[in-house]
Each structure stands twice: as structure tokens, then as C-alpha cells.
């Protein structure tokens, strides 16, 4: 299929490049770092070769979220966003942008989101999971009350929020002790991000802001497969739900969430996601440069779904969600 649009597609600036170094063996680092720093050469070639018309670009991970110093986090986010705006201005027909946000400082994050959406023409934000605030050990999730104004602004600006994975900090990773192979995209990313998404759902955030749009990558970080059980375990027992949200969490999952195919090129998994949330809420993505554009595209182009669904997931859902002028 031609004209595909992807929205989990990363780049790095020199200040954040090293954050990606641990995710591939050392002898792949030359290749990965070159992929991350490139925008207009190799990346465009990959897109052209694989029928991909546009990438909505975002900074690598964990980047801003792992900078406990608030002033530094604000500075790096701003620097990355200004750099990205310049790149998009060179090829707005091929690239659009997600904002990096200094969530360490909720007011600064709100101001940066507004600046990116209103002044720079960005399409939303991509945030790499929890933020470390003031000290490396102080982990903050975004269901916390200090984010009330941020979420109100996110809804008002109609800015989709891509909740992207990061690894848990070492002191919160006892379950993976002795098994470092479980970290990152193998398992820890999905676990971390799915729990964060459930926290947002359970907090009542979407009762207060029904217009919020949250995007999850990797076909929903396991949630399509498990969301029914979240709401229906021990159904014969009358149990208090134990959280402030008004509705079963699956209703928020269906009304406020969008999923992408990034890094999860598996037809069986796509079909499950389609059966849970429907093809209007699933969007093609590759997870370049950590995954290959050709791997994502050759799978998606031939996967056994209807051509109508292929057009929606591959392109038109993104056009509608991000109001793209193509
Ligand atoms: Mn990614």
C-alpha cells in the first residue's frame, strides 16, 4: 500500500542520542546512531522504498523524562522541539511533529505543549512514560493531581498524547533481577506502559476530560488482550471497584485510546486489537529506527485484513486524527 503514514518514528539530537545506546549490541550502534540523527537522507529513502508518505516524528526515549533537573528538562525539550520544527519546515509534505514535554514541571509542560501546537504547528505530544522529578528516584506518573491543568490544556488544544514506553528505574525493577533480557521492548516496556495507561483510566481523568486522546504503541502494549479481564475478574463477587473512575476501564479504552502497530507486526495480534477497539482506532507505525520500515511495511501491505481497513489503519485514520492536509 502506498501513502502510509507512521506516527511512532523517532529521531535524536546529540544531547539525547546516548539514551538509545543500550538497546542494541555495541556493534550495531554505528548504524542505529546514524539512523537516529538522520532526517532527510536515509529516512526518506526508506519511506520512498516502502510506500510511506509521512512520518510524524518524535524524540527518542527516555530523553526528557529521565532528566530530573527541571530547568534542564525544560531546556532540552525546547531545543528538541525547535530542531524538529526546522526539519518539518523543510519537508512538511513528508514530516510532521510530536512535541517532547518537560513533564517534571507541569506548568512548563503545558506552556511547551501550547507553544508547539499553536506556534509551531505540531500534531500532538509524545512522552516517554513517567518522569523522574528533582531526584532520579522520584518517579511521577501522570494520573497525579498536579497534572490537572496539563490535561485540561491537552483536551482544549485537541492534542493527542502518545504515551511511549521507557524502562522502570533499577530500584523499581526487582521482578527483572537476573534477567536483563526482559528489559526494553522484550517485555518491560509494555508492562510499564500498560500499567501507566490503566492508572490514567482508573483515575477518573477521562470522566473529567472525555475529549482526551491517548495513543499507545506496540498494538496497545498488551491491553487489547487483557482489558476484558481487568473489568471482569471474579465476576460472581460483588467487589468495590477501588478507583475513582465512573465507568469500567474498557469503556475508556474504547473511547479515549488509539493504538499503533509500531514494532508489533503480527496479524493475530492486529486482529485481536481490531476485535477490541475497531479499525477506526488503530494506526500504522513502524518504530523506526529501532525497527525496520521494510519489515513493518511488507507485513502490513500483505496482512489478511480488508482493503477498507488497510486504508484506514495505513492512512486515513491518521489524516483524520491529526487533521493532516495531504
Ligand atoms: Mn518507539
State the number of CA atoms in the 13 A half-sphere of 177 facing the CB: 5
Domain carrying residue 149? 4-321
Assigned domain for 326 exists: no
Distance 126 CA to ligand 1 centre (A): 10
Q: Give the count of beta carbons closer than 10 Å to the beta carbon of residue 52.
A: 28
- Whole-model pTM over 0.85: yes
For 218-240, write each residue's pLDDT tens digit: 999 999 999 999 999 999 998 88
242 three-class SS: coil
Neighbours of ion ligand 1 (CB under 5 A): 8, 287
What is the number of structural domains in the chain? 1
Q: Is 69 a catalytic residue?
A: no
Distances, alpha carbon 299 to alpha carbons 61, 261, 293, in Å: 25, 11, 10
Section 53-66 average pLDDT: 98
Which CATH number goes with the domain that contains 146?
A: 3.20.20.140
Distance 11 CA to ligand 1 centre (A): 10
Distance 185 CA to ligand 1 centre (A): 9
For 102-154, write each residue's pLDDT tens digit: 999 999 999 999 999 999 999 999 999 999 999 999 999 999 999 999 999 99
Distance 255 CA to ligand 1 centre (A): 23
Active-site pick, 134, 287, 294, 309: 287
Amino acid at each position: 500500500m502506498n501513502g502510509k503514514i507512521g506516527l511512532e518514528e523517532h529521531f535524536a539530537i546529540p544531547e539525547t542520542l546516548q539514551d538509545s545506546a543500550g538497546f542494541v549490541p555495541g556493534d550495531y550502534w554505528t548504524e542505529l546512531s546514524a539512523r537516529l540523527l538522520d532526517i532527510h537522507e536515509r529516512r526518506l529513502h526508506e519511506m520512498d522504498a516502502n510506500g510511506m508518505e509521512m512520518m510524524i516524528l518524535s524524540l527518542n526515549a527516555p530523553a526528557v523524562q529521565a532528566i530530573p533537573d527541571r530547568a534542564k528538562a525544560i531546556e532540552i525539550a525546547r531545543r528538541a522541539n525547535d530542531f524538529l520544527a526546522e526539519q518539518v519546515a523543510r519537508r512538511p509534505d513528508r514530516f510532521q511533529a510530536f512535541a517532547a514535554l518537560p513533564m517534571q514541571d507541569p506548568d512548563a509542560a503545558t506552556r511547551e505543549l501550547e507553544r508547539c501546537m499553536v506556534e509551531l504547528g505540531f500534531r500532538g505530544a509524545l512522552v516517554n512514560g513517567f518522569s523522574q522529578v528533582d531526584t532520579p528516584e522520584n518517579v511521577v506518573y501522570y494520573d497525579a493531581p498536579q497534572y490537572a491543568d496539563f490535561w485540561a490544556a491537552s483536551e482544549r488544544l485537541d492534542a493527542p498524547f502518545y504515551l511511549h514506553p521507557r524502562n522502570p528505574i533499577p530500584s523499581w525493577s526487582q521482578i527483572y533481577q537476573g534477567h536483563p533480557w526482559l528489559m526494553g521492548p522484550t517485555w518491560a516496556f509494555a508492562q510499564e506502559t500498560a500499567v501507566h495507561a490503566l492508572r490514567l483510566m482508573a483515575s477518573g481523568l477521562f470522566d473529567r476530560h472525555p475529549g482526551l486522546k491517548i495513543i499507545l504503541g506496540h498494538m496497545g502494549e498488551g491491553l487489547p488482550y487483557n482489558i476484558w479481564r481487568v473489568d471482569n475478574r471474579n465476576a460472581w463477587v460483588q467487589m468495590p471497584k477501588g478507583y475513582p473512575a465512573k465507568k469500567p476501564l474498557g469503556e475508556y479504552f474504547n473511547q479515549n485510546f488509539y493504538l499503533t502497530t509500531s514494532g508489533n507486526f503480527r496479524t493475530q495480534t492486529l486482529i485481536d486489537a481490531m476485535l477490541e477497539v475497531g479499525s477506526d482506532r488503530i494506526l500504522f507505525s513502524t518504530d523506526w529506527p529501532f525497527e525496520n520500515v521494510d519489515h513493518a511495511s511488507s507485513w502490513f501491505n500483505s496482512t489478511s485484513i480488508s482493503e477498507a481497513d488497510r486504508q484506514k489503519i495505513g492512512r486515513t485514520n491518521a489524516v483524520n486524527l491529526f487533521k493532516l492536509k495531504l
